[in-house]
Structure 1
Amino acid sequence: MASPQQYLNNPNVRKLLDVIASAEGVRHGYNTIFGNERFSNLSAHPNVRKSFRQTDGKTNFTTAAGRYQFLKGTWDGLSRQYNLKDFSPQSQDIGAIGLIMQKGALGDVLKGNYQAAIQKLGGTWASLPSSPYAQPKRSQAEINKLLGGSAQQGGYQPQYLSAKDEVRLFGKSQPQTIRQKYLSAEDEAKLFPQQQPPATRYLSAEDEVRLFQQSNQNTQQSSYLTPEQEAKLFPGG
């Protein structure tokens, strides 16, 4: 069975840990007690009980502490499960990763699917937008900003140009800067001629005049082309 320790240096895991700490708003990192008070003894969870007012107006109490604001009861369970002997930075990281694993979110994190992970972790960290608790929480826009815009969103994925197509459309003299890669209708026609709709075989009013201007008959003229007329109007068709 995988242990939290083996993911301590994984860049995706570190990124999510940083997002959680930022969302929790801890000013003193691993040495933060709820309310952004600082404590210095990391030999054990400080177990300081604090009162606060919820967003629904009710008063509640918490023992949240550390970079990831562990409750005392939660920390006691983690320390037993993962044999954590202190409240050091490494122990706190291991405990946070353990919670991520328990909620089934580690696989999402390793794949870089942070949004799916955050949806699963709202019941653990009250500051996340998916949290059900009557406490202040971050908006989805704030979380996206913390993630640096790298969070994967479901749905439409834009079709970017390949390097070969860029050369065909823009030449080789373009500056090495990031360009918007969406195609105009004209560029689409150059790249994807086979996708253009076939020319219609019905006559426009102008074509009718060109073909039938010598006719003085009062009968209605057919607007369909003969093979000979098609060849004259659409030589490439």
Structure 2
Amino acid sequence: MVSIFWQIRQSRLERSPLDPTWDVTPTPLVMQGGDPYIRALMRTISAAESNNARPYSILYGGEHVADLSQHPDICIPIVAGPNVGDCTTAAGRYQFITTTWLEKADQYHPVPSGFLFWDSYSFKPEYQDRVVYAWLTDANAWGADLPQLLREGNLTEVLWLLSPTWTSLGYGIEPNSMTDQLPEIYQQMLDEEMQASER
């Protein structure tokens, strides 16, 4: 089982960015509306974290889950990198681990949990987007106004601020073969999102 995850993970990390199996144009967000700069940033994060044509259902290692009624909470062995030997529950477009999802959903999910003692926040695509959007636009969460930094052209600073959370963004502990392309991807996503916002 571990060798299967190793092969899947290595194939994701070692593919050339020019390999046609890489989805170098991240799929549009399910969420409608919002700041085009933050929407472009969200798509850029997913290029590094979940690079897949079906990013909302992907688990660490490349498998997909069908049930997104809540975070899948499946702990998959980490077979490469600085955390080898541990396991991760990373899932979805933004590769939320279970504890981070529950914490951020408690703060930003638009639909409160339906149970008194059990957090069962929906992990459906729209809610993944909406939680991340609300988090990225909360200046108190990052100690900076990310939308303003992006408008000023400070993508490098934004990626640096986000790297402790999303470690593949260029200043974290797990860069991959998409990391160097992120500025170019961000610009392409921003162009698309700006055009869409003008329609």
Q: TM-score range by the shorter chain?
A: 0.5 to 0.7
Kindly provide the CA deviation profile for residues 160-198 of structure 1, in whole angstroms up to 9, marking residues without a partner as x.
Answer: xxxxxxxxxxxxxxxxxxxxxxxxxxxxxxxxxxxxxxx
Of 142, 150, 155, the match for 2:181: 142
CA distance in 2, matches of 1:37, 1:46: 12
In the alignment, is residue 12 of structure 1 matched against residue 53 of structure 2?
no
What residue in structure 1 maps to residue 69 of structure 2? 43
TM-score, reference length from structure 2: 0.62
After TM superposition, give the deviation of residue 48 of structure 1 in Å: 0.6
Query: Which has the bigger relative contact order, CA under 8 A and spacing at least 6?
Result: 2
CA distance in 2, matches of 1:11, 1:44: 27
SS of 1:34's equivalent in the other structure is coil
Query: Relative to structure 1, is the Cα distance of residues 8 and 93 closer, same or farther in structure 2, using a 3 angstrom cutoff?
Result: farther
After TM superposition, give the deviation of residue 30 of structure 1 in Å: 0.8
5+ residue gaps, structure 2, are: 1-31, 112-120, 191-199
Q: Contact conserved, 1:129 with 1:139, CA < 8 A, in 2? A: no
Of 3, 18, 24, the match for 2:49: 24
5+ residue gaps, structure 1, are: 1-6, 152-237
SS of 2:69's equivalent in the other structure is coil
CA distance in 2, matches of 1:116, 1:31: 29
Kindly provide the CA deviation profile for residues 120-165 of structure 1, in whole angstroms up to 9, marking residues without a partner as x.
Answer: 000010111011x2x34357631122123799xxxxxxxxxxxxxx
Identity of aligned residues (%): 27
In the alignment, is residue 129 of structure 1 matched against residue 192 of structure 2?
no
What residue in structure 1 maps to residue 133 of structure 2? 97
Q: How many residues are paired up?
A: 144
CA distance in 2, matches of 1:57, 1:94: 29
User: What are the equivalent positions in structure 2 for 1:157-236 lying under 5 Å apart?
Assistant: none
What residue in structure 2 maps to residue 196 of structure 1? none
Letter of the 1:141 counterpart: D
Query: Relative to structure 1, is the Cα distance of residues 129 and 40 closer, same or farther in structure 2, using a 3 angstrom cutoff?
Result: same
CA distance in 2, matches of 1:60, 1:127: 18
What residue in structure 1 maps to residue 103 of structure 2? 77
Letter of the 2:169 counterpart: L
Which one is further off, 104-113 or 13-22? Answer: 104-113
CA distance in 2, matches of 1:77, 1:138: 30
CA distance in 2, matches of 1:90, 1:50: 24
SS of 2:87's equivalent in the other structure is strand
After TM superposition, give the deviation of residue 119 of structure 1 in Å: 1.1
After TM superposition, give the deviation of residue 69 of structure 1 in Å: 0.4
What residue in structure 2 maps to residue 116 of structure 1? 157
